[in-house]
Structure 1
Amino acid sequence: MPKTLTIIGMGACGVAAFAEAVTRLRYDPGDGWTIHLVERDDQLARGLAFGTEQPGHLLNTESRLMGLYDREPGHFRTWLEARRAAMGTPLDPDGVEYPQRREYREYMHDVFERALEDARVAGIPVEIHRAEAITIDGDHSSATIEFSDGSSIATDVVLLTIGTPDPDRFGNLDGVPGYFDSPYPSHRMTEGIGQHQPVVILGSGLSAIDAVMTLLDTDHRGHIHLVSKEGLLPRVEIPAPETGYERRHLTLENVHRLIRERGTAFSVVDLVRLFRMEAETALPHPIDWHAEDRRGRDAEAALLHDIAAAEAEDEPFQRILTAARHDSTAIWNLLRPVDQKRFGKWLAPHFAAARFVTPMINARRIADAMTRGLLSVRGLVDETVADENGEGFVVRFENGETLAAPIVVNATGQATTLEEMKEPLIRDLLEKDWLQPHPVGGAIAHRATCRVISATRDAPRLYALGQLLNGELRDTNAVWFNVECAGGAIDDILRQR
């Protein structure tokens, strides 16, 4: 009997899942499938992160890991080399490339259009719905998805690929003039912030860097303040971090051996010990671990150090973490929930700074802005509130100091827990107990198949990819990882006939 698959969200995860489904159904159509594609924005194959037009918004992962086909991480690099050659600006075959995200959007669109054409030729029905899914009803045998425009569709399986949900944070600032709840889409900032206005950006990670790039791209002249709990900037990318390092200590084999020989759980302390051993083995000189804890310290000095270290290729952390990427989720899931929470509290900011790095060209732009006195970074922020006199905002720090500014941009990143995700569909599924919160973040799901584990037996067949599974699958910020997960999810969906 024919089946129906509905993919909700057509950003990178949705495109990867659709392309994988079409690839498999072309050679094994089974009893026949219809695919529904749902996207609330006006364009498919774009997504929040890649919908930007800002030239300073670059990929944060090297091009060789950004392919959208399962088991083909280098596909984007091949596409990019062909494109640049056709434009008369060929790439160095051995060179490192962090293209603009708007160029990656063109790649996403090409993959999507190819999948649509392949589906047409193979006779696979595909229907596109430009609406927001707000509720799902039904049971294990079938489901009905209702849209914001009042329409609905019936489906057998739902794959949630909703991207990076906006967080329900700083609700006290919503609606206050001068408050931007996200740096995306960037045109809101370029159109709504005066060139000479001081700006406070909440956060100091990659979303905050995007906000800075938006301002620098428009030749902003007002002072830019990055404020966060830790005051940590991302480290600076090194050439080809995905190659050239073989781990000796931080391996899945060693983790399993520790558990087996000791008969005790693997802990976050064990994880730190293995990482330190790995880093100390990778470098020919001692590491000052106290100095590596940069929370609340001089961010400009740290950035200049990182630029020099990246240029000298004297930075082991990225190579270790990138080399461990295929084991990271398995190691993560060998930690007990209590240790996963400790990781989030103690180590997550340091991990994120070393794993999700700034391309060199943007790091130099940030350093230049600091040198010119245009940009500063500060940690130990306590709270941000609207000024009582209606004149902008006040940021308070833990030492009692304050900072006033007319503009605040929330760049603290995507939501992690289900409770802080604002999407109506997520809240609907939570109320029905069809999504169960993971102790660390996101929803509980089968790790190999991404099938959602609901609290009730009558739930529809739900699958999820990306940030919705951030507690279950640690590396959900990485496109290459989400593409691999899409392959596993589609395989499981099409097998269960």
Structure 2
Amino acid sequence: MGFSIAIIGMGACGVAAFAEATIRLAAAPIGNVELHLVSREDDLGPGLAFGTDQPGHLLNTESRLMGLYASEPGHFREWVAKRRPLDPGKVEYAPRAEYGEYIRQVLADAYERADRAGIPIHVHRSEAIAIEGNRDAAAIRLRDGTIIDSDYTLLAIGTPRPARFGELEGCLGYFDFPWPARRLREGIGVDQDVIVLGSSLSAIDSFATLMDQGHRGLIHFVSKDGMLPRVEIPAPEETYPRVHFTLSRMRRLIRERGPRFSIVDLFRLFRREAEEAAAAQGERIDWHAENRMDRPALDALPIDIARADARTEIFQRILTSARFEASAMWDLLGPRDRDRFVRWLGPHFATARFTMPMTNACRLAEAAARGQLRVHGGVKDTIWDAERRIFISSLANGDTVCAPVVVNATGTAMTLDEIPDALIVQLADRGWLHPHPSGGVEAHRQTGEVITHDRDAPRLYAVGQLVNGVQRDTNAVWFNVQCAEKAVQDMLIKIAGDAR
């Protein structure tokens, strides 16, 4: 009896899942299992973000956490160290292009492993547009007309561009996504003023693309909260000994007080942790000042750079040390409190958890000092003035920002209805994908298996941004790699059971 597994999307997550499958099948063969790799890109592996050739595009995570093998997070750094000397006492934010080469190498190694073990591999360079059939006989239809029979399908579609600002589509000077970077390089003049929608990591990547080309025009970041990411401490991470903001403390509260664990409880534990950490440094936290919503982001940037350089950035140290428990902490919150977290704490959490490398922070500060970069909060809308051939962003304070170019860098799609991918739309229309209240689709947190109301639906799994509402920390490669491992493990366990 034969079985087939299809991986749809062969970026970093897809490659990690493929590598994990070949390792497990080579070590413990399970009957006749074949693997189908589906990619709309000819160049499997890097994807849009890691396929860039821009020198200013750096990883936002230190190399020690970027390995594509779940049990070897430091594998990427080891790979880099064989190519060029690294200072063991310093952090390394490698160029994204170099990480793309690493992904290609992991992919090549998986191909070779599969070949030695006799595992059939089928590569399809076409877009998956539909899945039909049922639980026992599912078929994936590709845009080129190919039909793939699949017993288990992993949706590893990466970071889909969001279906936002559709009214600007087709307007001269509008770029709906920062990737691929060549579109910005070729389509934006070095003297043009630019509005970048967003002020987080995607916006900073757009900024880097422009600055690498010697951009001279004014660059405006416009976003709802007007906040920049904080700055990563430029040193190897030291484990912070959390006492209060821990999973064990949260579960103890639930056990002793009852099942209700709220966003207020979560923040109280974090606040106590932070205040004690500050006191240990001889400092006191001004919580009012730490609320940066709609405050001048560029005023805080030099402070953040100094804190990171001195290794006294408390929020970052707490949150990064909690990264391996973050998804389980999220799981303790009920739907109402998850919604409150997104609305009340989400932006503040994101700026402290998803930080930028010091190199990027210094580039932003230099551009701001010479008057080339401005950051605006409270954006209400952005429209195209066809008569003046200009885009206008309106702000809550009554000001407007104008430029002939707009780059949509608002980040990845968070909710199911924001994902325009043809396959995801089709699966949602069939009722095989259901929106999670906090974003993405319903799925089991531990395995990534998609939860559907149709018991006869095909066996689907999801990893990455598509399950952000369930797992939350899906911006992190290391976390997605671990989730890919669990999904593959669950599939193979079930296949082994069926093969008996």
Partner of 1:135: 130
1:18 aligns with 2:13: no
How far the C-alpha of 1:258 sits from its partner, in A, is 1.1
Q: 1:495 matched to which residue of 2?
A: 493
Shift of 1:215: 0.6
Aligned to 2:469, the other structure's residue is in SS state: coil
The DSSP-based 3-state class of the residue aligned with 1:38 is: strand
Query: Deviation digits for residues 54-98 of structure 1, max 9, x if unmatched?
Result: 1111000010000000211011111111111xxxxx111222100
Matching residue of 1:87: none
Aligned AA for 1:225?
H
State yes or no: 1:257 paired with 2:252: yes
- Cα shift at 1:239: 3.2
Q: 1:242 to 1:455 in 2, by over 3 A?
A: farther
Name the CA distance, whole Å, in 2 between partners of 1:220 and 1:81: 33
Matches within 5 A, 1:263-302: 263-283=258-278, 284=281, 285-302=283-300
Letter in 1 for 2:159: T
Deviates more, 1:99-108 or 1:237-246: 237-246
Moved more, 331-340 or 390-399: 390-399
* 8 Å CA contact retained: 1:241, 1:322: no
1:70 aligns with 2:65: no
* In 2, Cα distance between equivalents of 1:155 and 1:130: 17
- In the TM superposition, what is the alpha-carbon distance from 1:17 to its structure 2 partner? 0.2
* Cross-structure match for 2:41: 41
Contact residue 448 and residue 487 of structure 2 kept, 8 A: yes
* Identical pairs, percent: 58
Decide which of 340, 343, 356 is 1:342's aligned counterpart: 340
Q: Which amino acid aligns with 2:33?
A: W
> Aligned residue for 1:202?
197
Match of 2:426 in 1: 428
- Residue number in structure 1 paired with 2:7: 7
1:463 to 448, 461, 481: 461
Q: CA deviation at 1:264?
A: 4.3
| Aligned position for 2:498 | none
CA distance in 2, matches of 1:187, 1:444: 35
Q: Tell me by how many angstroms 1:288 deviates.
A: 0.6
| Distance in 1 separating the partners of 2:173 and 2:484 | 39
Q: CA separation in 2, counterparts of 1:296 and 1:30?
A: 56
After alignment, is 383-392 or 204-213 more displaced? 383-392
Can you list the C-alpha shifts for 1:3-27, whole angstroms capped at 9, x where unaligned? 1000000000000000000000001
The 1-side partners of 2:198 and 2:63 are apart by 26
What's the offset of the Cα at 1:319? 1.3
3-state SS in 2 of match to 1:348: helix
Per-residue CA deviations over 1:122-172 (Å, capped at 9, x if unaligned) read: 100001000000000011112111111122111111000000011110011
Task: Name the counterpart of 2:80.
Answer: 80
Q: Is the 1:199–1:406 Cα contact (8 Å) retained in structure 2?
A: yes
Asked whether the equivalents of residues 241 and 319 of structure 1 are also in contact (C-alpha less than 8 Å), the reply is: no
The answer (yes or no) to whether the contact 1:50–1:102 under 8 Å persists in 2 is yes
Q: Which residue of 2 aligns with 1:377?
A: 375
Is this contact kept in 1: 2:234–2:358, CA < 8 A? no
Tell me by how many angstroms 1:243 deviates.
2.3
The partner residue of 1:166 within 134, 148, 161 is 161
- Relative to structure 1, the CA distance from residue 271 to residue 131 in structure 2 (aligned partners, 3 Å threshold; closer, same or farther) is same
Say which of 150, 155, 159 aligns to 1:155: 150
- Say yes or no: does 1:247 pair with 2:234: no
Moved more, 10-19 or 75-84: 75-84
User: Could you tell me how far apart the structure 1 residues matched to 2:25 and 2:40 are?
Assistant: 26
Q: Secondary structure at 2:471's aligned position in 1?
A: coil
Structure 1, residues 309-338: CA drift from partner, whole Å, max 9, x if none? Answer: 111111011111111111111110110111
CA shift, 1:227, in A, is 0.5
Note the alpha carbon deviations across 1:445-466, whole angstroms, 9 max, x for none. Answer: 1111110011211100000100
Q: Residues 389-404 of structure 1: matches in 2 within 5 Å?
A: 389-404=387-402
Question: Which residue identity does 1:55 align to in structure 2?
Answer: P
The letter of the residue matching 1:97 is E
**What's the secondary structure of 1:472's corresponding residue?**
helix
Alpha-carbon distance, 1:114 to partner: 0.3
Q: 1:232 aligns with which of 227, 241, 246?
A: 227
1:193 offset after TM fit, Å?
A: 0.5
Alpha-carbon distance between aligned partners in 2 of 1:20 and 1:339, rounded to the nearest angstrom: 35
Q: In 2, distance between residues paired with 1:451 and 1:401?
A: 47
Q: Secondary structure at the match of 2:402?
A: strand
1:452 to 431, 450, 453: 450
The DSSP-based 3-state class of the residue aligned with 2:191 is coil
Number of aligned residue pairs: give it: 492
Residue 193 (str. 1) matches residue 188 (str. 2) = yes
Distance 2:23 2:70 in 1: 10
Supply the distance in 1 between the matched residues of 2:399 and 2:369 (Cα, whole angstroms): 24
> Residue 442 of structure 1 is aligned with which of 437, 440, 443?
440
Deviation (angstroms), 1:240? 4.1
Q: Are the counterparts in 1 of residues 234 and 357 from structure 2 also a CA contact under 8 Å?
A: no
Please say if residues 33 and 124 of structure 1, whose CA atoms lie closer than 8 Å, have aligned partners that are also in contact. yes
TM-superposed CA distance for 1:32, in Å, is 1.8
1:293-332, aligned counterparts within 5 Å? 293-332=291-330
**Residue 107 (1) aligns with residue 105 (2):** no
Report if aligned partners of 1:232, 1:294 keep a CA contact under 8 Å in 2.
yes
Structure 1 stretch 150-159 or stretch 370-379: which is displaced more?
A: 150-159
Offset, 1:242: 3.7
In 1: Cα distance, 2:237 partner to 2:449 partner: 29
2-structure distance, mates of 1:200, 1:93: 39
SS in 2 for 1:333: helix
Q: Secondary structure at the match of 1:467?
A: helix
In 2: Cα distance, 1:143 partner to 1:380 partner: 47
**1:261 partner amino acid:** E
Is the CA contact 1:7–1:159 (under 8 Å) kept in the aligned structure 2? yes
- What is the rounded CA distance, in whole Å, between the counterparts of 1:61 and 1:388 in structure 2? 41
TM-fit CA distance, 1:388: 4.4
Aligned ranges for residues 113-124 of structure 1 at < 5 Å? 113-124=108-119
